[in-house]
Copies of this chain bind each other. A is one copy, B any other.
């Protein structure tokens, strides 16, 4: 009968030594394939070790080899489908390279980010992939000082000269604005999360560029910022409610723009609800384009046009860069790579 989990303790080298009646030293040498043990004895020791459920401790070995084979992944939250895909691909690539990932979440909270960084460093991670919280660079200078390779994803920290892998937010946003302008829109509103991160700043830049290139003045009336409640724990609060409120307030004033561009498809859910309540038809009266191409977007009524992000490619390249920093084969940095996104044109932007 197998021992119950928790009812028995973890097996040690000492346990194996007792079973085979040899010294801990001999057992250790046999299991690590070092000389000084006969082939026959080595085989017997390995068989007995497996039989009693002994697993070599990678941490102990890592002290010898100088590596713990873990990569810290520090994200703001998991509620964003972009981050799900990102973590999934990072984990895949890390496992292929013989690493495991230690996942830490900051929830857009600078104090939690500090805790996450401290935890990662104390856990002895070899390197870190991070989506940093809004603009605060303090925890990251600690990582740099500690000599731990660090690669940023999605949000940059200007001034720290770090490797940076991201969607090209500026070009992507410009593309969505030009799409609705080409379809006749002049009064366009960008609905974005009110977050002071480079991602949002770059999207605003791209939006303004597209307007100005088409002779449309960019002013405050062109943007609607949705308060971010992502500091609340978990996915449950990051939904469409706030976008619904912001869009409702705007439509209450009687203004119906030609098009809405939104910062993520969750915001699009709230916007759709506000428009439906007022029987404002999409796309006949107003066009809508989302961002992120979340799993539900193509199923909305009407299907929501959205921007598909280059998540897989971006994750692969970022992990590859980190691995090259870890094994010493990296080209001199810092390296910045921006990946193009793709507009999934659907009925919401096809009047």
Chain B residues, CB < 8 A from A333: 4, 6-7
How many copies of this chain? 2
Whether A301 lies near B301 (C-beta < 8 A) is yes
Q: Assuming A6-B330, A63-B60, A273-B299, is B77 touching A88 (CB within 8 A)?
A: yes
Chain B residues, CB < 8 A from A296: 240, 266, 269, 294, 296
Chain B residues, CB < 8 A from A92: 105, 233
Considering the complex, give the chain B residue whose CB is closest to the CB of A140: B5
Could you tell me the distance between the alpha carbons of A325 and B10 in the complex, rounded to whole angstroms? 12
Chain B residues, CB < 8 A from A85: 78, 234-236
Whether B78 lies near A84 (C-beta < 8 A) is yes
Within 8 A of B (CB), among A1-34: 2-11
Chain B residues, CB < 8 A from A233: 88-89, 92
Chain B residues, CB < 8 A from A54: 146
Q: Assuming A5-B150, A100-B102, A276-B301, is B235 touching A81 (CB within 8 A)?
A: yes
Within 8 A of B (CB), among A47-77: 52-60, 62-63, 68-70, 73, 77
Chain B residues, CB < 8 A from A63: 59-60, 63
Chain B residues, CB < 8 A from A56: 122
Beyond the given pairs A6-B325, A56-B122, 18 more chain A to chain B contacts, judged by CB atoms under 8 angstroms and listed by A's residue number, are A2-B160, A3-B145, A5-B148, A5-B150, A5-B162, A6-B149, A6-B150, A6-B163, A7-B333, A10-B147, A11-B146, A54-B146, A55-B146, A69-B123, A73-B103, A81-B235, A85-B235, A269-B295
Taking the closest CB of chain B, its distance from the CB of A181, in whole angstroms, is: 28
Whether A295 lies near B235 (C-beta < 8 A) is yes
Considering the complex, give the chain B residue whose CB is closest to the CB of A5: B150
Taking the closest CB of chain B, its distance from the CB of A21, in whole angstroms, is: 21
Within 8 A of B (CB), among A247-294: 266, 269-270, 272-273, 276, 294
Taking the closest CB of chain B, its distance from the CB of A281, in whole angstroms, is: 13
Taking the closest CB of chain B, its distance from the CB of A74, in whole angstroms, is: 11
Whether A5 lies near B81 (C-beta < 8 A) is no
Could you tell me the distance between the alpha carbons of A149 and B5 in the complex, rounded to whole angstroms? 4
Tell yes or no: A144 within 8 A of B by CB. yes
Could you tell me the distance between the alpha carbons of A239 and B62 in the complex, rounded to whole angstroms? 41
Could you tell me the distance between the alpha carbons of A121 and B53 in the complex, rounded to whole angstroms? 10
Taking the closest CB of chain B, its distance from the CB of A6, in whole angstroms, is: 4
Q: Assuming A4-B161, A87-B78, A299-B269, is B100 touching A123 (CB within 8 A)?
A: yes
Tell yes or no: A238 within 8 A of B by CB. yes
Chain B residues, CB < 8 A from A5: 143-144, 147-151, 162-163, 325
**Most chain B C-beta atoms within 10 Å of own C-beta, residue among A85, A89, A299:** A299
Tell yes or no: A334 within 8 A of B by CB. yes
